[in-house]
């Protein structure tokens, strides 16, 4: 009986040593990575805006989603918000003033405003 198990084990070992080893192949799972990002979002992430604003929660200033709810996404409001971003201001969302970002280009401020207003649900 022991001899039969020994022979059977030897036969299995011999057969498996000649089979293809699938473990040598490296499989890379290919997935589509979709990055939904735009210039406005990147500019906000690189700026000091994140110190006072969050996407969906009030911090020092209003949440971006609250801003999007308040203003319609049109050229007039994009220009208005871009000017507010550059010049700063207070009184619209409370007494805490928003600091000016005078070194920001008008086109960059518009991209930021477009991103924010695009968050409207």
Q: Domains in the chain, start-ordered, CATH in brackets?
A: 38-121 (1.10.760.10)
For residue 114, pLDDT over 60 is answered with yes
Alpha carbon distance 107, 54 (integer Å): 22
Give 20's pLDDT tier (boundaries 50, 70, 90): low
What's the angle, vertex CA 39, arms to CA 36 and CA 44, rounded to 5? 100
Q: Does residue 20 come out as left (phi exceeding 0), alpha (psi in the -120 to 50 range) or beta?
A: beta
Average pLDDT over residues 51-80: 95
Percent of the chain with pLDDT over 90: 60
What's the pTM value of the predicted model, to 2 decimals? Answer: 0.68
Question: What pLDDT sits at residue 51?
Answer: 93
Number of H helices, E strands in the chain: 5, 0
Q: How confident is the model at residue 121, as a pLDDT?
A: 77
């Amino acid at each position: 009986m022991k001899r039969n198990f020994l022979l059977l084990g030897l036969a299995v070992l011999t057969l498996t040593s000649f089979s293809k080893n699938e473990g040598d192949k490296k499989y890379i799972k290919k997935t589509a990575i979709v990055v939904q990002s735009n210039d406005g979002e990147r500019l906000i992430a690189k700026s000091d805006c994140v110190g006072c604003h969050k996407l969906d929660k009030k911090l020092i200033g209003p949440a971006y989603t609250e801003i999007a709810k308040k203003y319609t996404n049109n050229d007039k409001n994009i220009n208005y918000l871009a000017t507010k971003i550059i010049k700063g201001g207070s009184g619209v969302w409370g007494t805490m003033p928003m600091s000016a970002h005078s070194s920001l280009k008008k086109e960059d401020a518009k991209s930021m405003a477009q991103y924010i207003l695009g968050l409207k649900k």
